[in-house]
Amino acid sequence: MAISESAKPTVYQRAGWIVLFVLAILLALNSLFFGLLGVTPDIFETDTGVAWSEFSGAYPTVAILLDLAERLNGTGYFGTALFAAVVTFFGLRKGARWAWVALWIFPAVLSLGAIWFFTHDQPGIGAFYAGVTAISLIGLLLSFRLVSPK
């Protein structure tokens, strides 16, 4: 169900899908960057107290798997953000109710990421994902009237 020509979306309704779209694009770029980057030696040393070169020399197979896990994590978030951007632009912007319902997976995945980072002693990254989750929820709630029956 799309918005009729006579009913123009309000500023808040437009703001809802724009917030979601911009947030998804920014998260996709962030995830793509970190997905390509893999393990960052400085961050690894800060988190573990061991130099990456020392760790990868002592445990080469584990280092390869850890780097792969970092890249897959970034790729997963990239895919989720790209999904949200495409559904927002091609569905929610036009007032499709299915898009609004499908976009609830975006804050769900982000909140799981926030919980994971908070429970694994990385509160800074957890706070980032919690903030992004809150912004995506605001965008979804602002765009509700865009898809609700008149």
Q: Where are the domains of the chain?
A: 11-147
pLDDT of residue 104: 96
With residue 55 as reference, give the H or E element that holds it. Answer: helix 52-58
pLDDT of residue 97: 93
pLDDT of residue 120: 87
Which residues lie below 8 Å from residue 136, measured CB to CB, with a gap of 6+?
19, 20, 23, 84, 103, 106, 107, 110
pLDDT of residue 7: 66
pLDDT of residue 92: 93
DSSP letters along 13-33, please? HHHHHHHHHHHHHHHHHHHHH
pLDDT of residue 6: 46
Mean pLDDT of the chain: 89
pLDDT of residue 4: 42
Read off the DSSP letter of residue 103: T
Task: Extract the residue ranges of the chain whose pLDDT is less than 50.
Answer: 1, 4-6
The span from the CA of 66 to the CA of 144, in Å, is: 41
pTM equals 0.83
How distant, in Å, are the alpha carbons of 90, 102, 126 from that of 138?
A: 19, 16, 18
